[in-house]
Amino acid sequence: MSDSIIICPNCGAANEHSGNCAFCGSPLPLKKGAKKNVNLANIPEVEGEYKVKIDERVLIQEYDKFTGQTTTRWRCIDKIAYTHGIPLTEGNYPICFSIEHIHGKGKDFFTVFAKSPISTKSPICILHIDNRNYNLSSIPKTEIEELIRTLCEAKSLAIKIGADEIENAQVIIWLAQVFYHTFRDSTKYGDAADKLFYYYKDKIDKRNRDLIKKNRDLIEKKHKEKATRRKAIIVSILFSFLLVIGLMIFFYVVLDWIFL
């Protein structure tokens, strides 16, 4: 029998193509010498929910049972930061940059956007990638995946969002590489998740150390102020005591002089 013929293990029918049996629909074994497709974009369906293996340190998946779609987005490592994107500006309400992957109901695509948590209108976002500008609002959805690949290979990245300019946005390159590694090619950018995670971990650890130092300095300052007040009280008491003693001596001398 030819090596190109695959016998169905369920019904025994001869099939010329791999995949599922043309007669009973059962999965067929791979042809001799064939390699298994390991593309992570082939996401299996389990109880209606699409899942793919992700690095849960930097990504999170959310399934919407009403739309039947799974959204994979940046996991907010820094709990103070905005949860749906990487903060690019300072302050309590930073402008964030986000990459998301949508899968389900025949859809498999990326979205890229900048967002302000205090405004429903997306700010104008210009990406300056290796001496070339990309206006995020004017890029067609069909070209977003090409933008992701461009970000992955970028040597440098600067971003202008509204009036804010970020000269070195390396974290966005790492984020793009994490998504591309997860959903398109698992042989590339395998270290991107580590770089992204430890960048924020080090940043958070530094902030925590600064907070500890600030609290320690504040406690020391309070202790010094308390010690200073204590000394002032002691000096005041001693001064009052000496003043009373001095007045008593003065009056004693004056009275002694009067009645001589």
The predicted pLDDT at position 260 comes to 62
pTM of the model as a whole: 0.61
Give the dihedral of Cα atoms 176, 182, 186, 191; nearest 10 deg.
Answer: 60
Q: Looking at residue 22, what is its pLDDT?
A: 66
- Token readout for 53 is 């293996």
Q: To 10 degrees, the CA torsion angle through 82, 131, 185, 74? A: 0
pLDDT recorded at residue 147: 92
CA distances from 251 to 118, 241, 242, 243, 258 (A): 75, 15, 14, 12, 10
Q: How many CB atoms sit inside 10 A of residue 85's CB? A: 24
- Enter the tokens of residue 13: 């029918």
Buried b (16+ CB within 10 A) or exposed e, 194-228: ebbbeebeeeeeeeeeeeeeeeeeeeeeeeeeeee
At 191, list the tokens.
Answer: 């270290």
pLDDT for position 60: 86
Those residues of the chain that have pLDDT short of 50 are 1-2, 32-47, 80-82
Q: CA-to-CA distance for 185 and 146, rounded, in angstroms?
A: 14
pLDDT for residue 43 = 46
Residues 6+ apart with CB under 8 A from 150: 129, 134
What distance in Å separates the CA atoms of residue 72 and residue 22, rounded to the nearest whole number?
35
Q: Can you give the pLDDT at residue 202?
A: 81
